[in-house]
Structure 1
């Protein structure tokens, strides 16, 4: 049974997240031909400028679905083999036995066993993702640092493996998606940014979505604030930031409307074929950066509630920015939400994040948006 949109209920739910402590957030929910867009709070805590639902936003690892779709398109064209070892294409980046054992599929679904490079790019992330043992200094030091993906890949590949290639649970690692960016460049002769823009973003008709080449967000956007688990107090603005440290893994800028359009088209077989979509929806257990085991496909993961339909999508974070997008399997119900504060939970004496009112309010918004 389909749940119609209730604008008053959605308005109240998004306002509750703001009242719980989120400076600003905005969202779009679709049910068939019905569309609700809402926003609550401020885009700039200094001026009080309000957020609006059409703002462009850093959406973090939602980028991975776009990158995975671009790779699947090249699989369909015959330029990439989904179960071909990555060493066949990029032997210089993943040499030897691992290059022969790690397949393209293992990179996309995080079962490669390749370690996360971020602790080596950001010294203060030495215990990533255990942020309790870190400090925020590297965020300021690297605002305008231009990283080269091959250097970052080398650090991830050179780190101790997190498991044997193909073993589960896999370990979520951005190293995998930087390698996929290099793979796209290798087989298409263009940069990953150009390939994903042409074959995915433009194909989907997304007018406010881009993989940035500089540190700024063009067009109307919110400032974004990083709390770093209470270690940055008050939270600091990181809306100007060079995202080359994550590239095709997590640098995308988009809007909630564009995200809903993209995922709706993806699940309808309009970005990749239905057979490729079926591959994307084959999941394996993967340990997320938060230490939780999730079911992860090829750049997609499902969300399910008891007695409710399955939704597919992805979440993402950047320094200060967060987003979540979910589309019901039949494509008729969609939700995308963007947040301008990250890591708002403080730590208890043992270093574990403490519950925050934002957690419950945000979960309630997502329930209302997805299930009515």
Structure 2
């Protein structure tokens, strides 16, 4: 962790569990202005780790018979995904990103539209929308009306937040509660997570770090985005949690205590998906696997927001876990082809993950 800090990360904190042993640590600062140190118990925006929580809430409704996993989304939300696409795209395809629906974010944040073209992407929209209250239906429409990125069920799929905003609307349609209420009641409270929430406003309650966004060196020095209206991602990436809560959640999920064994088996059936970074990964239903030089496959999710990030991974047998949070994002500069250049932080984080997961 010291190596990650020396490589340029302002602050990071983690919890690692091995059987009954628990290790927590924190290195660096939560506030560059005051020098306030990070601590391992800070609450943090964990980005797309939210997707595991949303997927679990949907699968609970599948178990109860209110949602068909392989039913067309048009059966439930014909006004949002009309016609042939609504008939062809299933709930499963939304959860595992094989729907072919485009990402809405470049349309909601127009200065990012040509990303990763270094001549075109600019961070201006990040400031323009700091306090914008987005309507999820309008964001979904941007993704649905944009050119498709694939055919329904095609491989590889393409990772898209549009899918998970639709899942939020699906939960609302079948339960009569908002997606946030449904996920809170049936996932967060079921797991006994006391420091985890889907926030209604722009602020992180309780002790937390500032979140520094570099946008590939275009914001220099990096700017604090810890105060931000998260309605632009909602049930896709708005979750606030702690490293301890994340480890508790994934341990319970993989033990079959959040969804039943058959649902967990579905979550661990993977397909090939192109990530937002342009890499092809294996992706299940709100979970993805990581394999390294040590024993066993790890399951979990990573996530980023403007300025913050986290990764949570649990070994399939539940006997070893890692959750790591960082307070700087997009630290790499882009090369002439628009791809992020290698940065010392990348290698230092990879080494940390290896040690945390495999000893």
Q: TM-score, normalised by structure 2?
A: 0.99
1:80-102 deviation digits (Å, cap 9, x = unpaired): 00000000000000000000000
Does the 8 A contact of 1:323 with 1:338 survive in 2? yes
- The match for 1:160 among 147, 172, 191 is 147
Shift in Å, 1:349: 3.4
List 4+ stretches of structure 1 deviating above 4 A: 129-132
1:276-323 CA distance string (max 9 Å, x none): 000000000000000000000000000002453100000000000000
Cα deviation code 1:207-264 (max 9, x no counterpart): 0000011000000000000000000000000000001000000000000000000000
The residue that corresponds to 1:98 in the other structure is 85
Q: Does 1:241 align with 2:228?
A: yes
Instruction: Give 5+ residue unaligned stretches, structure 2.
Output: none
CA drift at 1:354: 1.4
Partner residue, 2:292: 305
Q: CA deviation at 1:131?
A: 6.1
Q: Which runs of 5+ in 1 are unaligned?
A: 1-13
Please say if 1:122 is aligned against 2:109: yes
Partner of 1:30: 17
Please say if 1:349 is aligned against 2:340.
no
Give the alignment partner of residue 199 of structure 2, picking from 190, 212, 234. Answer: 212
Mapped partners of 1:333, 1:179: distance in 2: 33
Matched, 1:203 2:190: yes
CA apart distance, 1:128: 3.8
Q: SS of the counterpart of 2:35?
A: coil
CA distance in 2: counterparts of 1:129 and 1:261, whole angstroms: 36
2:118 and 2:337 in contact (8 A); partners too: no
Instruction: Give the 3-state SS of the residue equivalent to 2:76 in structure 1.
Output: helix
Cα distance 1:24–1:132, how it changes in 2: closer, same or farther (>3 A)? farther
Rounded to whole Å, the distance in 1 between the matches of 2:351 and 2:196 is 28
Instruction: Select 2:180's aligned residue among 172, 188, 193.
Output: 193
Given candidates 320, 323, 335, the residue that maps to 2:307 is: 320
Partner of 2:239: 252
Q: Which residue of 1 aligns with 2:36?
A: 49
In 1, distance between residues paired with 2:263 and 2:339? 40
Query: Does structure 2 conserve the Cα–Cα contact (< 8 Å) formed by 1:132 and 1:347?
Result: no
Shift, 1:353, TM fit: 1.5
1:66 is paired with a residue whose SS is helix
- The answer as to whether partners of 2:102 and 2:147 remain within 8 angstroms in 1 is yes
Work out whether 1:15 is the aligned partner of 2:2.
yes
Asked if residue 364 in structure 1 is aligned to residue 337 in structure 2, the reply is: no
Question: Does residue 222 of structure 1 match 2:209?
Answer: yes
Q: Confirm or deny: 8 A CA contact 1:43 1:340 kept in the other structure.
A: yes
Shift of 1:130: 4.7
Residue correspondence of structure 1 range 267-286 to structure 2 within 5 A: 267-286=254-273
Cα distance in 2 for partners of 1:288, 1:348 equals: 19
Q: Measure, in 2, the Cα distance between the counterparts of 1:300 and 1:225.
A: 27
Q: CA deviation at 1:368?
A: 0.4
Asked if the contact 2:309/2:327 (under 8 Å) is kept, the reply is yes
1:336 paired residue number: 323
* C-alpha distance in 1 between matches for 2:142 and 2:285: 24
TM-score (norm 1): 0.95
Question: 1:350 offset after TM fit, Å?
Answer: 3.5
Kindly tell me: are residues 195 and 130 of structure 1, through their superposed partners in 2, closer, same or farther at Cα, counting changes over 3 Å? farther
Residue 179 of structure 1 deviates from its aligned partner by: 0.2
